[in-house]
Amino acid sequence: MITFPEHAKVGRIVAKENFYGKTDAATKSLFQSEIARITWEYKLAPETINIPAKKWSEIQVFRINLKNSEVPIKVLKVIDSAIPYPILFLIDKGTVEKAVISYKEQSQKDENSAKVDTYFETEWNDERLKNVKIDGLNIDTVFSNFVRQIAGDKLPAAKNDLSEGPRTIKDDVEVMKEREKIQKQIDILTRKISLEPSLGKKQELAEERYKLKQLLRFGL
């Protein structure tokens, strides 16, 4: 499983009630019914792991002990939205564990605020957990690599155009979203083709689908 330097250890229980202020009744109920305990396990910062800050000054590692089978993403988003730093969640269910992280962007106007974007997670006791480690020359790159390590194949392989410079983690997340959007369009066209009685219209739709497939294959 994932290990972190002892100097970064916090080991502090975080009361679930801390997150109730901005939640609705249904989400509060999920906190109570699904989560047994929230522990702030580690703080990854210059003073604890001897890596300089950049845009992000620190990364938090939270352990969520579950009562039941899964933790709803909406619960993690409440926690994420309340804390203006990236959070690596270690989700614990008895003898099994998974890692969850969101790609998060710091507010340009308020350093105490951050936008929670897309979530990525491993499977339970996934082999990828062995690869989740502190890797980077500053806190930003450590965070980016956490996202890539947990996302695995879900994020596209980086295509570095030398004229534009290497692609960032934000670029990769945006490419992934665009690919998902195109795939949905392909799925819709496939259903339309199967239902279309006109051969000419089928061919027209098939040509449109082919162009999208080529875009997925070569364009992103």
Angle at 18 between CA 7 and CA 110, to 5 degrees: 75
Lowest model confidence (mean pLDDT) among 6-15, 63-72, 185-194, 206-215: 63-72
Q: Give the pLDDT score at 162.
A: 47
Q: What is the pLDDT of residue 146?
A: 95
Measure the CA angle with vertex 146, ends 144 and 152; round to 5°: 100
Residue 114 burial (CB count, 10 A): 20
Nearest to 77 by CA among 106, 115, 113, 43: 115
* Residues 157, 168: Cα–Cα separation, whole Å: 11
Q: How far is CA 217 from CA 48, 151, 192, 208, 210, in A?
A: 43, 20, 22, 14, 10
Q: Note the pLDDT of residue 69.
A: 77
CA distance 98 to 77: 17
Query: Where is pLDDT greater, at 79 or 106?
Result: 79
Kindly indicate the confidence band of residue 61, based on its pLDDT and cuts at 50, 70 and 90: very high
* 23 has a pLDDT exceeding 80: yes
Of residues 1 and 209, which shows the higher confidence score? 209
Mean pLDDT, rounded, for 80-95:
93
Distance from chain centroid for Cα 45: 20
CA angle 4–5–10, rounded 5-degree value: 85
Q: Judge whether 99 and 122 are in contact, CB under 8 Å.
A: yes
Contact 82, 65 (CB under 8 A): no
**pLDDT at residue 119, as a whole number:** 95
- pLDDT digit string, tens, across residues 152-199: 988 876 555 544 557 789 999 999 999 999 999 999 999 999 999 999
Q: What integer pLDDT is reported at residue 36 of this predicted model?
A: 94
Q: Which residues, other chains included, contact 132 with Cβ-Cβ below 8 Å and sequence gap of 6+? A: 2, 88, 99, 122, 146, 149, 150
Of residues 108 and 120, the one with the higher pLDDT is 120
Using the predicted structure, report yes or no on whether residue 124 has a pLDDT greater than 80.
Answer: yes
pLDDT at 51: 95
pLDDT in the model for residue 165: 59
Strand order in the sheet with 59-66: 9-14, 35-44, 59-66, 87-93, 96-106, 114-121
The token duo for 213 is 């497939």
Question: Of the ranges 98-112, 145-159, 162-176, 198-212, which one carries the lowest mean pLDDT score?
Answer: 162-176
